[in-house]
Amino acid sequence: MLLIAFSGVQLHAQAISSELDLTAGYSGEEIGAAASQIRLFGEAPARVVFFVEAAWGDRRAGDAPVLGERLSGVDPIGTDVFGAAHPYSGRVVVMEAFAEKYFKPGGALLGVRAGRFRTPFGIYHRTDHGYSGFLRPPLIRYDGYFGLSNNWLEEGVTLTVGMPQLFIEGSVSRPHDVGFAKRRNGTDGSIRLQGYRGAFVAGVSYARSNPYLSPRFAVGRQAFAGADVRWAHSSGVQARGELLKGHSYEGVSTTGWYVDGFLHRPGMGPFTVAVRGESLVYTAPSPRARSANRLTLGTRVRWPGPVTLQLNYLRQHGDLPHIKKHALDFSATYSIRLDHQFTSSRVH
Amino acid sequence: MHCPAIFIGIMCAAGTSAFAADLTGSVQAAGKPVRNAVVWLEVDPPPPFRQTSKVLLDQRNLSFAPQVLVVRVGTTVDFPNNDKVFHNVFSFRDGKKFDLGMYPMGTTKRIVFDRPGLARLFCNIHPNMAAYVMAIDTPFFAVSSTEGVFTITGVPPGRYTYHAWRPGGQPLTGSVSVDALQRLDIQW
């Protein structure tokens, strides 16, 4: 009788985690920064995964002059430092806030996500760019450099269909940007195909949206196509990169790429070496055309305990707005995480 | 041959304890219960081991589950990625050393823990992720619960050297006699 009585009871564990990151940074471009993010994420009943992140960040610039002309509608300080994965707008903003559910019937992969999320294009996850070893986003992924920003947010739905080795992810949404470059309202769409084999993960993406610049001269739609690849070797070497081509409005074009390398081998302890080479070419009627190249050497140190240090040296040239041709950027991040496990019983 | 049923029951119970007992105990540090402490008994020679079921160390919600895993030497541990993000699990410090690289959601990589020792696992992308895999060469081990209690089942009676370890604590060792009434209470 006891067994029968308990056979209808299902134990269900719900895990909820909270994270807090506190960051302070300084750049040789005479810019200081502070930022904080708080996240709440976990599994609700029925294995629905949820994620909410709020962020605040602010920067203060010294007297160093900006080289080149500042771009309209973008960062007033005139540099992308510390903009890797979160905006530094001086306001508290809700970044991603979504719920998603994945089904894995017979080895297939089906997923649906609803809410606010980063544009599912290329290498786009927060942790791919924030605290990964680089203190700046790739040139092609920064607000206002005529590419596709890491910080652009969509409000809508994504569907994922396929299998872990090969799947398609499509989204329909409206823009909800919280950084400096805010796209005009409209219907956004993106589609991404990702494959995985051996040590390689490769994908191709396409996204359409409205431009972020004024409709007085930025007419038409922005559209970008991209290819991305990641490779990892068991010796502790990783590489990844993206190629982007498209236009942020009619009559212009943006072409760019970046390649990141990471080295973290036994004996290096908490140190990870990071290297990035990148290029951006923006063609537009004179005198608006721009181009830039940048090389970044850096390290990330996972200090014992909750502190992560990042140090970057970069050398850049071109005519995108920037403050110095050489820069040394540094940040320290303190992170804490709390996990809560709830077990509930349901009688059927 | 004319044993009453109750006598048979007593003999069965006695027979069980004569060949194998359960060693229960508690783990405390500074007077408070310790969860995820590993307690094991040395046996020499260790009985042969053949893995009969899958052992998982899940990556889910940017965390490892469980955070302390104990396996017999020779166990293959599956590391499924159930997060949408990539993880990069590695163990460089002690015990089994490996780097799993990146792999996407829904896929699994495997590692054979073929040498005894403690592997400290981290994710090179998510600094809050950490776990321990303790590979030991004995079938008699347990992990303490949230209440700091443990039970090592099926131990033949006798005298054993025990070892205890907990995250952040020094390993402890001592001896214990295993019989039907023995407890092992460990204090850090």
Q: pLDDT tens, position by position, for chain A (348 residues)?
A: 333 333 334 445 567 899 999 999 999 999 999 999 999 999 888 889 999 999 999 999 887 777 777 776 677 788 889 989 999 889 999 999 999 999 989 889 999 999 999 999 999 998 888 888 999 999 999 988 899 999 999 999 999 999 999 999 999 999 999 988 899 999 999 999 999 998 899 999 999 999 998 888 899 999 999 999 999 988 889 999 999 999 999 999 999 999 999 998 888 888 999 999 999 999 998 888 889 999 999 999 987 668 999 999 999 999 888 888 899 999 999 999 898 876 554 443
Helix/strand/coil percentages in chain A, nearest 5: 5, 60, 35
Task: Give the nearest chain B residue to A337 (CA atoms).
Answer: B128
- B101/A302 CB distance under 8 A: no
Burial annotation A248-286 (CB, 10 A radius, 16+ → b, else e):
bbeebebbbbbbbbbbbeeeeebebbbbbebbbbbebee
**pLDDT of amino acid B144:** 95
Residues from B contacting A (CB-CB < 8 Å) are 60-63, 84-86, 88, 90, 92, 97-107, 122, 124-128
pLDDT at B49 > cutoff 80: yes
pLDDT at B20 > cutoff 70: yes
**Residue range(s) of every CATH 2.60.40.10 domain in chain B:** 10-46+138-187
Touching check for A337 and chain B: CB below 8 Å?
yes
Whether pTM > 0.90 for this model: the answer is: no
> How far is A90 from A59, CA to CA, in rounded Å?
8
**pLDDT of amino acid A229:** 97
> How far is A317 from A81, CA to CA, in rounded Å?
15
Which residues lie across from A244 on neighbouring strands?
A226, A256
**pLDDT of amino acid A327:** 93
- A234/B98 CB distance under 8 A: yes
**Residue range(s) of every CATH 2.60.40.420 domain in chain B:** 55-136
Give the side-chain half-sphere CA count within 13 A for B114.
5
pLDDT tens figures, B116-158: 999 999 888 887 889 999 999 999 999 999 999 999 998 998 8
Q: Which residues of B touch A101 (CB under 8 A)?
A: none
Q: What CATH class is the domain B55-136?
A: mainly beta
A238 contacts: CB under 8 Å, gap ≥ 6: A230, A231, A232, A261, A262, A263, A264, B88, B101, B102
Which residues lie across from A242 on neighbouring strands?
A228, A258
Query: DSSP string spanning B51-113?
Result: --S-EE-EE-SSSEESSEEEEETTEEEEEEB-SSS-EEEEE-SSSS-EEEEEE-TT-EEEEEE
Interface test with B, best of A38, A102, A127 (most B CBs within 10 A): A127
> How far is A52 from A99, CA to CA, in rounded Å?
9
**pLDDT of amino acid A343:** 58
The count of CB pairs under 8 A between chains A and B is 84
Task: Give the nearest chain A residue to B127 (CA atoms).
Answer: A302
Q: What CATH class is the domain B10-46+138-187?
A: mainly beta
Question: Which of A132, A164, A266 has the CB atom closest to B104's CB atom?
Answer: A164
Give me the phi and psi of A86, to 5 degrees please. Answer: -140, 150
Burial annotation B172-182 (CB, 10 A radius, 16+ → b, else e):
beeebebeeee
Angle value at C-alpha B130, between B76 and A261, nearest 5 degrees: 90
Question: Which of B99, B127, B128 has the CB atom closest to A234's CB atom?
Answer: B99
- A127/B127 CB distance under 8 A: no
SS3 call for B26: strand
> How far is B96 from B73, CA to CA, in rounded Å?
10
Q: Which residue has the tokens 């072409």?
A: A255
Q: Which residues of A touch B60 (CB under 8 A)?
A: 15, 43
